[in-house]
């Protein structure tokens, strides 16, 4: 009897036993890290980042918030997990498509990566800010493996272009800045009142002083139009042309 009581006490202290197992079983079955992150992504897609909390996510999964800490040590880990989820989705898209294998096709493959990244970001717009903010908070070596593999993929393509280490690093930074910057501009809210039929009031131009912001007021209607993947590709080609031309000039000098 004493042994049975001791075993029960040990199980309670270590979290083992039926009570522990029950705490890990939500309304959709036993929890896993993949299930937790997938539910977090669904919640943020539906309601935005401000809706994400351990308590709210636990409610989504049908468990107490404490049960989630086995899979994510806190909200910051969840945010990093959302970034990881986007890059895993990107990797799946890239794996499902044709790969340009020829040495001269590095530019085609780079365009394919940019286009797939653009599509993933537009599918999960509320997560896109994390692609910048979490990268500002997390050192390179501590980023999710899926993120690091994406870095490796792009760097390998730039080396295939014949750039040296310095040129590869410079173009990698420029490529990343252009891609994430372009997506961020595409997703910026521009409409002030979607219920307004008059374009000026729809954009809220009456809120902008005409004497101080004449150029912005004039450009606002055009700025509301997205550049789409065509604009992304156009800017990327201009960027690549500039860097490759500089590399050729340096080699010939």
Tens digit of each residue's pLDDT, the chain (253 residues): 444 444 444 344 444 444 444 456 655 558 899 999 999 999 999 999 999 999 999 999 999 999 999 999 889 999 999 999 999 999 999 999 877 666 559 999 999 999 999 999 999 999 999 999 998 999 999 999 999 999 999 999 999 999 999 999 999 999 999 999 999 999 999 999 999 999 899 999 999 999 999 999 999 999 899 999 999 999 999 999 999 999 888 877 6
- What b-and-e string marks burial along 168-185, b requiring 16 or more CB atoms within 10 Å of the CB? bebbbeebbebbbebbee
Residue 159 lies in a domain: yes
Residue 12 lies in a domain: no
Structure tokens at 10: 């040990």
Contacts of 247 (CB under 8 A, 6+ apart): 162, 163, 164, 167
Residue 6 lies in a domain: no
Tell me how far the alpha carbon of residue 171 is from its chain's centroid.
20
Residue 11 lies in a domain: no
Q: Residue 63: which CATH number?
A: 1.10.10
29 bridge partner residues: 26
* CA dist., res. 44 & res. 124, Å (int): 8
What kind and span of H or E run contains 25? strand 25-26
pTM above 0.85, yes or no: no
User: In this structure, are 133 and 192 located in the same domain?
Assistant: yes
User: In this structure, are 137 and 225 located in the same domain?
Assistant: yes
Residue 29 DSSP SS3: strand
User: In this structure, are 58 and 115 located in the same domain?
Assistant: no
Q: How many domains does the chain have?
A: 2
* CA dist., res. 118 & res. 97, Å (int): 15
Structure tokens at 250: 């340096």
């Amino acid at each position: 009897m004493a042994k049975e009581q001791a075993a029960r006490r040990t199980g309670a202290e270590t979290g083992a036993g039926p009570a522990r197992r029950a705490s890990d079983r939500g309304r959709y079955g036993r929890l896993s890290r993949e299930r937790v992150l997938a539910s977090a992504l669904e919640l943020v897609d539906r309601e935005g980042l401000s809706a994400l909390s351990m308590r709210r996510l636990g409610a989504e999964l049908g468990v107490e918030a404490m049960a989630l800490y086995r899979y994510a040590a806190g909200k910051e880990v969840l945010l990093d997990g959302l970034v990881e989820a986007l890059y895993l989705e990107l990797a799946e898209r890239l794996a499902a498509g044709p790969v340009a294998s020829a040495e001269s096709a590095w530019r085609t493959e780079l365009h394919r990566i940019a286009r797939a990244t653009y599509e993933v970001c537009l599918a999960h717009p509320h997560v896109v800010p994390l692609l910048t903010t979490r990268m500002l908070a997390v050192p390179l070596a501590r980023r999710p493996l899926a993120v690091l593999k994406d870095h490796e993929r792009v760097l390998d393509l730039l080396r295939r272009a014949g750039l040296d280490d310095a040129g590869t690093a410079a173009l990698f930074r420029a490529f990343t800045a252009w891609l994430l910057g372009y997506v961020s501009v595409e997703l910026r809210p521009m409409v002030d009142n979607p219920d307004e039929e008059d374009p000026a009031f729809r954009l809220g131009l009456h809120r902008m002083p005409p004497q101080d912001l004449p150029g912005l007021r004039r450009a606002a209607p055009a700025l509301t139009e997205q550049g789409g993947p065509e604009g992304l590709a156009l800017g990327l080609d201009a960027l690549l042309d500039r860097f490759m031309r500089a590399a050729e000039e340096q080699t010939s000098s």
